[in-house]
Amino acid sequence: MQEPVIDTTPVVVVESDLDSDGDGVPDSIDACPGTPMNVVVDERGCPVPVDITDELKMELRVFFDNDKSTIKSQYQPEIAKVAEKMREYPNSTARIEGHASKTGPSARYNQRLSEARAVAVKSMLTNEFGIAPNRISTVGYGYDQPIAPNDTEEGRAMNRRVYAIITGDKTMTVEQTKDMVVQ
């Protein structure tokens, strides 16, 4: 009986299904090698982009001295934060509401004072921080919407205020991850 002949010539094995980045697409057709783990990829091995929306909702309160519409320096850092967020969210808008306590010579006077307080905050946002005026609306309510009783100095101090609500959103494109819920 003749012994079988065994070929001992070395053979190079090419692993055509090698997927060095572990994204499920073989390196031989992976157009985006080195994809991070947990990133969803398309048939070419490239990350799938997804748009996400980040919403902004922010409040601002500024209190004023009696019979004044001058913004105290202690509120400038808070107004600066509002301006920073409004720059970060280019489509954001601000609604600034001015209020007054029930002191002063007349309802009409307090109405104008409340409007002047709202305009003072708007002016700071536009003149000092460069926010476009068309993104900011102002309204004065006089003493019609108190948040505290007007029969004490503490209550009146709380009512001499501006309340602002800043809203907006921005859309960003990010790489979709496997744990991300996409709607």
Residue 158 belongs to a domain: yes
Residue 21 belongs to a domain: yes
Which of these ranges, 68-82, 85-99, 163-177, has the smallest mean pLDDT? 163-177
The pLDDT score that the predictor gives to residue 143 is: 95
The answer to whether 18 touches 26, Cβ cutoff 8 Å, is yes
Alpha helices in the chain (DSSP H): 76-88, 107-123, 153-159
* Confidence at 163, pLDDT banded by 50, 70, 90: very high
The pLDDT score that the predictor gives to residue 19 is: 87
The pTM for the full model equals 0.75
Residue 178 belongs to a domain: no
Count of domains observed in the chain: 2
Q: What CATH number did the domain enclosing 83 receive?
A: 3.30.1330.60
Q: Both 92 and 133 in a single domain?
A: yes
Q: Both 139 and 76 in a single domain?
A: yes
The pLDDT score that the predictor gives to residue 104 is: 81
Long-range CB contact pairs, 40-46, < 8 A, 24+:
40/175, 40/176, 40/177, 40/178, 40/180, 45/21
Checking if the pLDDT of 15 tops 70, the result is no
Strand order in the sheet with 136-140: 49-63, 161-175, 93-98, 136-140
Provide the domain limits for residue 40: 10-47
Q: Both 21 and 64 in a single domain?
A: no
How far from 63 is each of 45, 117, 167, CA to CA, in Å? 56, 9, 21
Going by the DSSP 8-state scheme, the letter that residue 41 receives in this structure is B
Residue 181 belongs to a domain: no
Residue 179 belongs to a domain: no
Task: In whole angstroms, give the CA distance from residue 164 to residue 148.
Answer: 18
Q: Both 78 and 121 in a single domain?
A: yes
Task: In whole angstroms, give the CA distance from residue 93 to residue 39.
Answer: 35
Checking if the pLDDT of 4 tops 80, the result is no
Residue 128 belongs to a domain: yes
